[in-house]
């Protein structure tokens, strides 16, 4: 067991860094994220990294200088590693009490006996993939925070590993830790120019060996329905009940293209909220698809449905506004295969295999890729994110840390 890596992770999860969707106008969205940022700044300075900085929005940056001679170093690209400090708003991140289960036996994991909180193998069969390994779990009252404090611990420990193994040659390495990824804002104020890398990797994936460089194209849609409310006793030919129209709109959506009925590369429409009275209604959707052409077609589906209902109930009854959120990073990476090839080889060396999987969601790396910093996503090793059943095998973290080391070496080579 890599005690330095584990101790570092356990220290990081002691900080409550939950972000908030209710305060997206500010960055960070919660002031408590500053506490971990300050700690990381001090830690990186203490470890001897250079250019250590924390900005006014709690973004932390640092440099591990190249150990090559000047002539060689000039030929090696500067690369970076990025992880986020915040934890999900979906579950409490306060007073996390982790526990290590050594040599996991493959049975149900009792998190909290008094409250009968159990991570069962039936509901979480991925546990079976980690029999004999050492698992860090919660006490059932909070999430764990492996998403993404495992990523931070792996990056920092990889830097100390390189410092203590000067025989491993590497170029200039930059590290960056950001707030508010869980609310989709982590990359918004990331200083790409200051970071100064030709490319980077986010350490924010899940299961061991996974590499992700395809993600959804994403949009949000708001459907506004304007009803006409009159006394129900005299409503014939006059009333337009926005509740009914909203229900019709929702029922018109393709039944088999919802999140609960799709996986892999299949896109979806997801109704996230609905409010309705006779006078007016609103429906909120998110639209997702890996294929850009299909993504554009999905947006048109909502506009066409609105037009059909307006033909029936009158123009202006249904109004759809759509805002793109992020795009598939593959379009920014497919002409730069060396970035993913290096990651694949590094993962294979650390794990014995590499599994390329599509992200059924977004990532800071997607936004950064479209801002000029190509940025695939590498596994950090945690599982069952955003809830009390989150856990991380220590062996996964060790392999992720060595993947970082391998990428640094392979880039120099």
Q: Where are the domains of the chain?
A: 3-214+329-412, 219-326
* 50-61 pLDDT, tens digit each: 999 999 999 999
Query: Which class is domain 219-326?
Result: alpha beta
* 224-262 pLDDT, tens digit each: 999 999 999 999 999 999 999 999 999 999 999 999 999
Let me know: does 35 contact 55? Beta carbons within 8 Å: no
CA distances from 327 to 262, 324, 368 (A): 19, 8, 11
Give the model's confidence band at 21: pLDDT under 50 very low, under 70 low, under 90 confident, else very high.
Answer: confident
Task: Please report, to the nearest 10 degrees, the dihedral formed by the alpha carbons of residues 345, 346, 349, 350 taken in order.
Answer: -150
CA distances from 266 to 20, 153, 234 (A): 29, 33, 47
Instruction: Give, as one character, the DSSP assignment of residue 307.
Output: H
Question: φ, ψ for residue 254 (rounded to 5)?
Answer: -55, 120
Distance of CA 271 to the CA centre of its chain: 21
Question: What local confidence, expressed as pLDDT, does residue 11 receive?
Answer: 98
* 350-401 pLDDT, tens digit each: 999 999 999 888 788 999 999 999 999 999 999 999 899 999 999 999 999 9
Task: Please report, to the nearest 10 degrees, the dihedral formed by the alpha carbons of residues 355, 357, 362, 363 taken in order.
Answer: 20
From the candidates 147, 180, 181, 390, give the one annotated as an active-site residue.
181
User: Would you state the structure tokens that stand for residue 199, as one six-digit string?
Assistant: 């490319």
116 vs 107: CA distance, rounded Å? 15
CATH number of 3-214+329-412: 3.40.630.10
Give the model's confidence band at 169: pLDDT under 50 very low, under 70 low, under 90 confident, else very high.
Answer: very high
From the candidates 16, 86, 148, 180, give the one annotated as an active-site residue.
86
Give the model's confidence band at 25: pLDDT under 50 very low, under 70 low, under 90 confident, else very high.
Answer: confident
Would you call the peptide bond into 21 cis, given omega within 30 degrees of 0 as the criterion? Answer: no
Question: What local confidence, expressed as pLDDT, does residue 23 receive?
Answer: 86
238 vs 38: CA distance, rounded Å? 62
10-22: average pLDDT: 95
In this prediction the pTM is: 0.88
Based on the residue annotation, tell me whether 181 is a catalytic residue of this protein: yes
User: Would you state the structure tokens that stand for residue 76, as one six-digit string?
Assistant: 């090696």
184-195: average pLDDT: 94
């Amino acid at each position: 067991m890599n005690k330095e890596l584990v101790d570092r992770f356990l220290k990081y999860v002691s900080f409550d860094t939950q972000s908030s969707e209710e305060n997206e106008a500010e960055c960070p969205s919660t002031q408590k994220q500053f506490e971990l940022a300050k700690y990381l700044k001090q830690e990186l300075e203490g470890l001897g990294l250079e250019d250590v900085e924390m900005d006014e929005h709690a973004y932390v940056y640092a440099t591990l200088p190249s150990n090559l001679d000047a002539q060689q170093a000039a030929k090696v690209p500067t690369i970076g590693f990025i992880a986020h400090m915040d934890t999900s708003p979906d579950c409490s991140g306060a007073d996390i009490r982790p526990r290590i289960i050594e040599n996991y036996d493959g049975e149900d994991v009792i998190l909290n006996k008094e409250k009968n909180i159990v991570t069962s193998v039936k509901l979480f069969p991925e546990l079976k993939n980690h029999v004999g390994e050492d698992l860090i779990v919660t006490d059932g009252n909070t999430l764990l925070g492996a998403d993404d404090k495992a990523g931070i611990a792996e990056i920092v420990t990889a830097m100390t590993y390189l410092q203590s193994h000067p025989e491993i040659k590497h170029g200039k390495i930059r590290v960056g830790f950001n707030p508010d990824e869980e609310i989709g804002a982590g990359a918004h104020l990331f200083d790409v120019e200051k970071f100064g890398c030709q490319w980077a990797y986010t350490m924010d994936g899940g299961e061991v060996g996974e590499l992700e460089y395809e993600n959804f194209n994403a949009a949000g849609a708001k459907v506004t329905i304007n009803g006409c409310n009159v006394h129900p006793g005299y409503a014939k030919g006059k009333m337009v009940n926005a509740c009914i129209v909203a229900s019709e709109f929702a029922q018109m959506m393709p039944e088999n293209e919802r999140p609960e009925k799709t996986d892999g590369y299949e896109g979806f429409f997801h109704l996230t909220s609905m409010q309705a009275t006779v006078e007016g209604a609103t429906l909120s959707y998110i639209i997702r698809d890996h294929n850009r052409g299909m993504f554009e077609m999905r947006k048109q589906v909502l506009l066409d449905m609105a037009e059909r209902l307006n033909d029936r109930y009158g123009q202006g009854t249904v109004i759809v506004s759509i805002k793109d959120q992020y795009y598939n990073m593959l379009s920014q990476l497919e002409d730069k295969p060396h970035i993913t090839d290096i990651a694949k080889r590094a993962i294979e060396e650390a794990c014995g295999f590499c599994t390329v999987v599509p992200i059924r969601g977004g990532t800071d790396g997607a936004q950064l890729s479209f801002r000029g910093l190509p940025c695939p996503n590498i596994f950090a090793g945690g599982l069952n994110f955003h809830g009390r059943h989150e856990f991380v095998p220590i062996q996964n973290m060790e392999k992720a840390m060595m993947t970082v080391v391998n990428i640094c070496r392979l880039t120099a080579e």
